Structures are given as structure tokens and as C-alpha cells.
Amino acid sequence: MLRTQTTTRAARRWIGLVALVSSLAIAGGKATAQLEQQELVNRAETTFSTFMRDPDATWLQRHIGEARAVLIAPQIVKAGWVLGGAGGRAVLFARDEHSGRWTGPAFYDVAAASIGFQAGISVSETVTLVMTQKGLNSLLASSAKLGGDVSIAAGPVGAGANANVTADLVAFSRSKGLYGGLNLEGSVLHVSDKYNRAYYGTAALPPDILVRATVHNPQADRLVADLNRLASRKKSDDQS
């Protein structure tokens, strides 16, 4: 009888240990799966902060409070000889029209092709303001062609801070610290279902993330807080 009780207790301890190890392995697997996505979010935060401090990007800084969403691509690589192509990843954050609060990110792949004389490789970072509901609706679909489905314009820099730009999307790009060098017109954005699923631990479409807000990852809260703070501050400055 004593041996049976001892065996039962040992079995229970073993089952408990196996369950603990399994749960730790699952948690570790989820954390590992999110590393790549979180790195992209962290780099997007750095890119956004850089643009918001740059004295040449005052148009972006003044109008972010009016934007419906902001698309941040920390790195887009363009390469080619005559026939060229560009590619990278981006995150999209959207602003609720009623509360003014920002949500996100949703993950996207960026792809573009161009024909014309070009050589070498360039690496750019971009911040694109989505200024209209049409522009946001287009990005909430599975894919969108910039300049086709929605209009896109290069954002004014430097002395052009007061320029009037009427486009669904207004894009700012920097390469090696200088503005310009990358034209996003013709680029195609594809929703990255793989990245969204890994980051939120479940299947999540852009409307789930940005409109219904049915999923959330607290690791993006710092960038969301920056968007809330800077957008509201710029809007208050303009109204004063």
C-alpha cells in the first residue's frame, strides 16, 4: 500500500514537471517566433523618432495629427542594373477617428519594380502619412498598389513645409541621411499574414488589428504612446 502511494505521488510529480516544461517550451516558442517581428517594430520606432526630430521634416511633423494612419518602413533595399526592384517590410498604425487614439501595428511586405537606367544598391527608410479614409481603406485590403489604388505624393522637405499636398498618401524617404532617392509610386503592399499571426499569436487581419482592435501586443505600446503623444502635441501646437 505504501509503495503504491509513493508511486502515485511520484507519477503526479512527474506529470506536473512535464506540464511545466511543456508550458515553458510553448511560451519560449512564442517569444522566439515574435523576435523578428519585434525587431521590426523596434527599428520602426527608431525611424519614426528620427523623422519626428528632423528639422527638414516639419511638414510631416505638422500634419501627423491629421493623418488617418502612418506606415513606417525602417529599411527598403533597392537594387538593380537597368531593371530594378525594391523590397522591405513595414508596419502600419491607424488613428481612431472618434477617440484620436492610435492602434497597431499591422505588418506588410513592400515590393516594387522599375525600368530605366539605374545601378548599384540603395537602402532607404520611409514614413508615409495616410491622409484620407480612401487611403486607409485601401491598406486594410490584402494588397494595395501605391499610385494605382490610391494616390501618393512625395512629402515636402525643408523650405516646402508649408506646401499644400493633396494625395491619399504622403511619403517621406531618407537614404544615408538625405531625403529623396526612393519613389514609392508603383510599389505594392501585401499584408504579411505570417508576421501578424506570429506577433499576435492568432490569425489577425488589418481590420482586426487597426479598426476592431480585437488583438493587442503590449510590446508595441511604447511606439503607440509616441504616436499618441506627438500627434496630439502637434495638433495642439497648430491650433494654438
Q: What is the pLDDT of residues 81-102, one digit of tens each?
A: 555 677 899 999 999 988 899 9
Average pLDDT, the chain: 81
Report the range of poorest mean pLDDT among 7-16, 69-78, 128-137, 139-148.
7-16
| Residue 25 pLDDT grade (very low, low, confident, very high; cuts 50, 70, 90) | very low
Reduce the DSSP state of residue 28 to 3 states and report it. Answer: helix
Q: State mean pLDDT over 55-64.
A: 92
Q: Residue 20 has what pLDDT? A: 40
Q: Determine how β-strand 102-115 pairs with β-strand 188-191.
A: antiparallel
Reduce the DSSP state of residue 88 to 3 states and report it. Answer: strand
Residue 146: is its pLDDT beyond 60? Answer: yes
Residue 41: is its pLDDT beyond 90? Answer: yes
What does the longest C-alpha to C-alpha distance in the chain come to? 89
pTM of the predicted structure, to 2 decimals: 0.80
Half-sphere exposure of 204 (CA within 13 A, CB side): 24
For 42, phi then psi, to 5°, come to -65, -40
How buried is residue 164: exposed, middle or buried, by Cβ count under 10 Å (0-12/13-18/19+)? exposed
Report the range of poorest mean pLDDT among 21-25, 118-122, 160-164, 175-179.
21-25
Q: Residue 19 has what pLDDT? A: 41
Half-sphere exposure of 119 (CA within 13 A, CB side): 0
Report the range of poorest mean pLDDT among 23-32, 38-47, 53-62.
23-32
Q: Residue 206 has what pLDDT? A: 97
Segment of 18-27, 50-59, 116-125, 227-236 carrying the highest mean pLDDT: 50-59
The crossing angle, in degrees rounded to 10, of helices 221-239 and 2-53 is 30
Whole-angstrom Cα distance, residue 224 to residue 113?
32
| Residue 184 pLDDT grade (very low, low, confident, very high; cuts 50, 70, 90) | confident
Whole-angstrom Cα distance, residue 30 to residue 73?
24
pLDDT: is 175 or 94 the higher one?
Answer: 94
Q: Residue 180 has what pLDDT? A: 66
